[in-house]
Amino acid sequence: MASQFLVPSQVFQSPLRSAASNSPLFFNFNGRSSYNGHSITIRTGKQLSLDTSKESTPKYGLTLDEISCSSIEPEMKDVLEKSLVNRIRFLSSDSKNRKIDLDEAERVLNSMLENGFKPDVETLTILINSLCKRGRTKKALEIFDLMNRIGTKPTVQTYNCLLKGLCYVGKVEEAHEMLTNMKKMMKIPLKPDIYSYTAVMDGLCKVGRSDEARELLKEAEELMGLKPNVITFNTLFQGYSREGRPLEGISVLKLMKKKNCFPDYISYATLLHGLLKWNEIREALKIYKEMERFGFEVELRMMGTLVRRLCRESRKEKSMLEDARQVFEKMTKRDSVLAEDQKTHELMIQALCARGRIEEAVSTLDLMYEKGRIPSGLCFDELIKELNAQGRLFAHSNLFGYAVKRGAFVEVNPGM
């Protein structure tokens, strides 16, 4: 439904410039405006009036039905057109201080069209982008069709907004078809760029079709001559991790480096998360060490997960205990206060006990107490048993009372 208001009555101020004089125009949509020293009032409702403070300037009192491109001076027409365009952009743009009002933006757009104004491609692309971000792809496609009808040619950025929007709501096939149509046009302004391909690749990865996304990457490079960026590769890391195939991510990392595209924190963090999730501990440790080497600060939560996985694996492979210990020490130096820290400390103690490294286990226990964490009875069981096995229980007799309080079952070997 078309809006009955040409200009909404909400407050908005935007610096504009006259096409003729390049003088600044400041529109304040609470009513008052100024132009070259004249006062202009834009009243809302069915009536539009342009009143000036100088008697020599004509006055207008026109309804929307009466106003047209020919009913006002060319320079004032330009002023109105710019004000309406900026109003649409204002209503469609993100801000922390207000809510986007896309319905109102559409009403202003309808008013523009009814009164003979033609919105530019940038304004319509901003509106399409905002609609797509909110999952309103049907309305976004209607605006896209409108562009073709009024002769406003979409740019590759317009297409990219639609590609992302379609993939966002799971319409990956429609996005893929749109990308195919772009390739058929092969005109320079509409030639797909790497962001076009990345948008569709991301959509494919999110629905478990990462191999197809990788084929698209190959096409982008070999057929279109495009250079993938870090965001392009990150979509593949996320896709393979989601599908439970994190080792494919390792091959993507190698390809990425071969293309001289340096991984960022998101690249490594996504890959590390996937490797840990699917229990690929050896590769996870390599990626962790690579992150450390390049100066990336690994998230404490992932460090804790890595320590716990390494502790469990250390029962099979002794060398992993030292790796676990090194990661654990770096983690504790950063004063982690995560809820999982309790389990991480306990597994570290148990792993050390299992390998006979009792002094380090006791030190880790002391560290827990310093942080106000009390070990479980099971943790004490492991510690007391190892102390007893080494004949050193009474050297740490203070632990005995703590163990009993925590419900540990302590069986002392009198022969030791």
d(CA 396, CA 392): 7
pLDDT for the residue numbered 108: 84
Task: State how many domains the chain has.
Answer: 3
d(CA 347, CA 365): 11
pLDDT for the residue numbered 406: 52
413 belongs to a structural domain: no
Positions of the chain with pLDDT under 50: 1-71, 407-416
Same domain, 255 and 222: no
Residue the block writes with tokens 């040409």: 6
Same domain, 140 and 85: no
Same domain, 1 and 65: yes
Same domain, 79 and 18: yes
177 belongs to a structural domain: yes
d(CA 273, CA 414): 48
d(CA 372, CA 86): 58
Q: DSSP assignment of 331-358, as one string?
A: HHHTT---TTHHHHHHHHHHHHHHTT-H
pLDDT for the residue numbered 393: 64
162 belongs to a structural domain: yes
Proportion of the chain above pLDDT 70, given as a percent: 72
Instruction: Name 15's bridge partners.
Output: 26
String of b and e for 335-344 (b: at least 16 CB within 10 Å)?
A: eeeeeebbbb
Q: What is the pTM of this model?
A: 0.75
382 belongs to a structural domain: no
d(CA 125, CA 118): 14
Q: Residues near 240 by Cβ (< 8 Å), separated by ≥ 6?
A: 205, 210, 246, 248, 249, 252, 274
Same domain, 128 and 211: yes
Same domain, 142 and 221: yes
Q: Residues near 386 by Cβ (< 8 Å), separated by ≥ 6?
A: 353, 356, 358, 361
Same domain, 223 and 235: no
Which run of H or of E encompasses 64? none
pLDDT for the residue numbered 4: 30
Same domain, 12 and 57: yes
Domain containing 238 equals 229-291
Which run of H or of E encompasses 47? strand 47-50
Helix residue ranges, H only, 116-229: 121-133, 137-150, 156-168, 172-185, 194-206, 210-222
Same domain, 65 and 51: yes
pLDDT for the residue numbered 53: 35
Residues 241, 277 contacting (CB under 8 angstroms): yes
27 belongs to a structural domain: yes
User: In Å, how far are 81, 82, 122, 362 from 117, measured between CA atoms?
Assistant: 6, 10, 15, 79
Same domain, 203 and 256: no
Same domain, 206 and 221: yes
112 belongs to a structural domain: no
The two beta strands, 38-41 and 60-63, are unpaired
SS3 175: helix
Q: DSSP assignment of 357-390, as one string?
A: -HHHHHHHHHHHHHTT----HHHHHHHHHHHHHT
35 belongs to a structural domain: yes
pLDDT for the residue numbered 375: 80
Spatial CA neighbour of 143 closest among 170, 110, 175, 168: 110
Mark which of 187, 205, 227 sits at the end of a domain: 227
Which run of H or of E encompasses 11? none
pLDDT for the residue numbered 49: 37
Residue 356 DSSP symbol:
T
Same domain, 202 and 157: yes
CATH number of the domain within which 173 lies: 1.25.40.10
d(CA 137, CA 129): 9
4 belongs to a structural domain: yes
